[in-house]
């Protein structure tokens, strides 16, 4: 049976996952401060790790990635969703924004001073203009507006993902920034 980890889950409890967060006010499986290493899991214990909007809240994202490498099985997958730097500091507790260069630090062919010492293979990278449709009703946004935003977002995502590098370096400043960048890695 595949073991899956939902790191920094908050209220997004996923069935079939080990749900981990430091908050105890939600019904999680494991309570742990993700700034404290090592995590309470043995080496190579998960087939898939999801880290959705958690790295930007932590003190040392590269050390977190090293720890995720440790607990992920060889051939395992890692999905990381974080704010793109162009919108990365819209939350008061965000410590970092991310861009298209983040995966380079886990590629051993990158510069010796840039490679962080753990190898992940990037399988896919996507920019998302809108990422939090589920929060919009709480902000008073109506269903018709959300429907229009979904269409606009799909168009923006399509063009942005034709060249995430060009978008990240230039185009995102013309359109007001992207809420999210998603990386999908495998551990060799």
Closest by alpha carbon to 178, among 60, 50, 65, 90?
90
What distance in Å separates the CA atoms of residue 104 and residue 86, rounded to the nearest whole number?
A: 19
Q: How confident is the model at residue 36, as a pLDDT?
A: 97
Tens of pLDDT along 113-131? 888 889 999 999 999 998 8
Q: What is residue 24's predicted lDDT score, i.e. its pLDDT?
A: 77
* pTM, 2 dp: 0.89
List the structure tokens of 121. Answer: 């293979």
The band of 89, judged by pLDDT with boundaries at 50, 70 and 90, is low
Pick the CATH number of 4-186 from 3.40.50.150, 3.40.50.300, 2.40.10.10, 3.30.360.10: 3.40.50.150
Q: Tell me: the pLDDT tens digits for 26-48?
A: 889 999 999 999 999 999 999 99
DSSP output for 80-140: EEE-BGGGTTSSTT----B-TTGGGGG-TTS-TTT--S---EEEEEEEES---GGGGGGGT
Predicted pLDDT at 1 = 86
The average pLDDT across 130-157 equals 91
- Does the structure show a pLDDT above 70 at 184? yes
Residue-level pLDDT at 66: 97
Query: In which order are the strands placed within the sheet that holds 121-128?
Result: 30-31, 17-21, 4-7, 46-52, 72-82, 180-186, 121-128
Would you state the pLDDT for residue 58? 92
> Could you tell me the residue ranges of all domains in the chain?
4-186
Write the pLDDT tens digit of every residue in 19-30.
999 987 788 999
pLDDT on residue 86: 77
Lowest mean pLDDT across 72-86, 99-113, 164-178: 164-178
What is the rounded CA–CA span in Å between residue 113 and residue 98? 19
pLDDT tier at 60 (50, 70, 90 boundaries)?
very high
Can you name the residues that pair with 51 across neighbouring β-strands? 7, 80
* pLDDT over 90 (residue 4): yes
Average pLDDT, the chain: 91
């Amino acid at each position: 049976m595949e073991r899956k980890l939902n790191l920094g889950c908050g209220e997004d409890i996923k069935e079939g996952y080990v749900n981990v967060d430091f908050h105890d006010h939600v019904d999680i499986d494991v309570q742990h401060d993700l700034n404290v290493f090592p995590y309470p899991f043995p080496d190579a214990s998960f087939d898939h790790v999801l880290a959705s909007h958690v790295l930007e809240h932590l003190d040392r994202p590269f050390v977190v990635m090293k720890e995720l490498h440790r607990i992920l099985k060889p051939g395992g997958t890692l999905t990381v969703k974080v704010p793109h730097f162009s919108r990365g500091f819209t939350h008061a507790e965000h410590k970092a924004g991310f861009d298209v260069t983040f995966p380079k630090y886990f590629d051993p062919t990158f510069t010796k001073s840039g490679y962080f010492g753990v190898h992940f293979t990037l399988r896919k990278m996507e920019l998302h203009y809108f990422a939090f449709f589920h929060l919009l009703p709480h902000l008073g946004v109506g269903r018709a507006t959300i429907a229009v935003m979904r269409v606009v977002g799909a168009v923006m995502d399509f063009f942005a993902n034709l060249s995430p590098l060009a978008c990240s370096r230039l185009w995102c400043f013309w359109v007001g920034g992207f809420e999210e960048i998603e990386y999908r890695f495998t551990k060799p």
